[in-house]
Structure 1
Amino acid sequence: MTEHDQYLVGLDLGGRRVVVVGGGQVAQRRVSRLIAAGALVEVVSPEVTPAVEGMASAREITWTPRRYADGDLDGAWYVLACTDDPQVNAAVSAAAEERRTFCVRADDGSRGTAVTPATGEYDGLTVGVLARGAHRRSAAVRTALVEALAAGVVSDSADPVVPGVALVGGGPGDPELITVRGRRLLARADVVVADRLGPRDLIEELGPDVEVIDASKIPYGRAMAQQRINELLVEHARAGKFVVRLKGGDPFVYGRGFEEVQACAAAGVPVTVVPGITSAFAAPAVAGVPVSHRGVAHEIVVVSGHVAPDDPRSLTDWAALGRMTGTIVLMMAVERAGRFAETLIAHGRPADTPAIVVQDGTTRIQRSVRTRLDTLEADIKAEEISPPAIIVIGPVAGLTA
C-alpha cells in the first residue's frame, strides 16, 4: 500500500457486521467509533479492556472470549486486526483478503488493505486525514482542522445563519475553557450581548461586522437592567440577526439565564442553551482545591451571597449549612463574607474550618488566599480581595497536593 496513494472513502457500516480481532487499547479506540457508525461489532479476543467489557455488557457489541479462529470473518464487511501478535494479525489480514473484505492492520498499516485515518467530528462533519503512515502528523492536522472549524477560522457552510438566540456559557474566564459548541456559535454571531465575566479574549477575536453589546453587571456599580437585556435579545433576533448571549460560567448557575430563555420563549424567538463550566467548581480546581474528596466531603452546596443571611429575601437555610460537614461554595459573597462566616459559626461550624478565596479564577490575574472561617473577613480585607471571587469553606479547603 505504501507504493500507492491511499483512497479516502466513507463507509456506511450501519447494520453491517464488523469484526475486531483483539481487545486492547487500540481495539477500544476503534470500537467506540464503529458503534457510533451503527456497525454490528463483534470483538474476538480472550481478554478485553474494562471499557470494551462494559460495551459488551451494555449490548453495544458482541464479545467472543477466545482466540481468533478460521471462519470468524465470515459475513464481515470490514475487519480490524488489533492484537499484539503480528502472526495473528497477518492471518486475519490474509483471511480477509481471501474474502475480498477490507482489513486494517493496527500493527503495520502497510500490510493491510485499508488504513484508519485520523478523524474528528464537528457539527455533523467528519474530518479525516491520511499522511501515509505518519500518524502524529495526521492527528495534528486533524486536530487543527477541527479547532479551526470550531473557532470559525474555516467556514463550514455558505448557508445563512437562522435568526434566533444562543445562550452560551463562556466558562470561568479562560477563553480555552468555553465549550466547542459555544465557540462555534460565537463565531457565527451577528450580535453578541456580553457579560463582564465572559471570556474577554474571545470578544477580541470577533470580526468587525459583529455588533458587541456590553451587558455588564458590575458589583455595587453600574449594571444593565435584566429587563433591558431581555429586550435586546428579542429585538435583534426579530430583526433577523443571530444573537449570542455570552455569559460567564454557566448560564443557569446564578446567571439569570432562564429568565432570558423565558423572555425569548414568550416572544416566540427560538433559543438554544449551551452549558458552560461554572466558576463555582473551576476556580477552586485551578487553585488546587477539590470541592469533593473521598473520605473528606460527601456533599457540596453552592450558595448565592447576593443577600445577607438575615435578609427577608434569603431562601437559604443557614442553620442547616452550619450543621453540615461538607463543602460550601459561596458565589458573589465577598462583600458579606464576614456575616456569612459569623452565621455559619453560630449554627455549629467550627471557627477553625479551612477556607480559601479565589479571585479571578482561571484568568491571568488569578490569586488566592487560604484562611479559616473565623478570619475570613479580616483576610479578605487585608489582601484587598474584590469580586469576582469564589469562597470555599470546608475541610477540602485545607487539602494540599
Structure 2
Amino acid sequence: MGAFHPVTGAARLTRLPFVDYDYRADPGIMIDASGCASLIVEHVELDGNLAEHVIGGKWSVDEGWQCYAHGIHTVSNDRVTIRAVHAHHFAVDAMMQVDHRLSPNAASRPVTLMDCTFEYNARQGLSWVGGNALSATGCKFNHTGRARNIGLDRVLSSPPGAGVDLEAEESIVRNGQFIDCEFVNNVGAGVLAASGPVQDVGFSGCRFVGTTAWSAWPDKPGFRFDDCTFLGAVVNPYGDGDASRATQFHQCRFDDDPAGSPTGQVYGGVNLDRPLVDMSNRENVLFDLCTFRATRGSALPWSTRAIYKDCTMQQGTGVTGYPRGRYIGRNSIIGKVDINGSTIGGTLQLNGRFQN
C-alpha cells in the first residue's frame, strides 16, 4: 500500500503532498456498496491483514497513507445495516460511510450499526464523512493505530487515528446516535469532530478512554453526552452564545484513574495543568449532574465560561484547578481551585465552605 514506482515496483520515498495516481497502490475494499436500496452485512469477520502488507511511500495530500484499504465502504445507499461484524487490522478504515453533496435539509438515509467491533485499524474504526442519520449500538471502536506491520517493524497508522472521525467532506454529517459504545486506546481522539458541517450527534452510556491522546474532541454544535464515562482528557467541547448549540454533558463521569485504562496510561493533554476537560473560554458548555475526580495528577476542568449544574468535583493535592464559569443548583468542590470571575447561583460548597 502506498507509493511505488509504476515500472520497477520499488517503493517510492515521497515528500507530501504526493498524489500521483500512477504511483498509488491500493490493497482494496472488502465490501464496497454504492447506490443500493438496502444493504445488510451481518455475522462476519473481516481481517485486513495489516501485518503482512508491503508498505510503500506515503500517498496523501497531508499525512499518512490515504489509500483504499477498507473493510466496508458504503456510498449513497438508501438504507444500511451492519450487524455483529468484526472488522480489524485494515490499513486504513474498518468502515467508511459516504453520502455525497447532501444539503442541510436532505432526507435521512439511515445507517445502523449493531454489536460491531472495529479495532486495530490504521486510520479509523469508522470514518463518517457524509450522511444524515447514523446510529451505533453496542459497538467498539478501539485500538486504532496500534497494530504492527512486519515490513515496517513498527505500528502502522495514519492521521487522524480516531476511534470515530466525523468529518463532512463536500456534504453534511448530522443526526448521529451512539448508544453503549466504546472508544478506547486509539492513537488519536476516541471521537473526533473538528472539520466540516457536522452537528447534532448524541452519545448515551458510552465509554471513552484516552491513553496517549484525547478521549474526545467534540468541536461541533449540537453534541450531547448522557451517562458517559471519560478516562483521559477531553478537549474543545463546542461553545456557543446560543446554549442549545453548545456541547452538553448530563450525568457524566470524568476520571484520571489508570486502573480503568487497558495500558495503565491516561492522557492528560498538552496543558501543563492536565485538566480533565480543556475548554479555554468556550461559552455555555454545560455539565449537568456530572462527577469529576482528578486524584492522580490531573486537575479539574479549565474553563472561563462553562456552566456547572449540580456537579461534584474532587481534586488531589499539588495541583490547582480552574473550573471557572457559572454555577447553578448545588455544586461542591474539594481541592485547590481558582474560580475567580465565576458567578454563583444556588449554592457552591468549596472545601466545606459555602461561597457567596
**Richer in helix (by share):** 1
Instruction: Give me the TM-score of the superposition, normalised by structure 2.
Output: 0.26
**Richer in strand (by share):** 2
Structure showing greater relative contact order (alpha-carbon pairs closer than 8 Å, 6 or more residues apart): 1
Question: Larger Cα Rg: Structure 1 or Structure 2?
Answer: 1
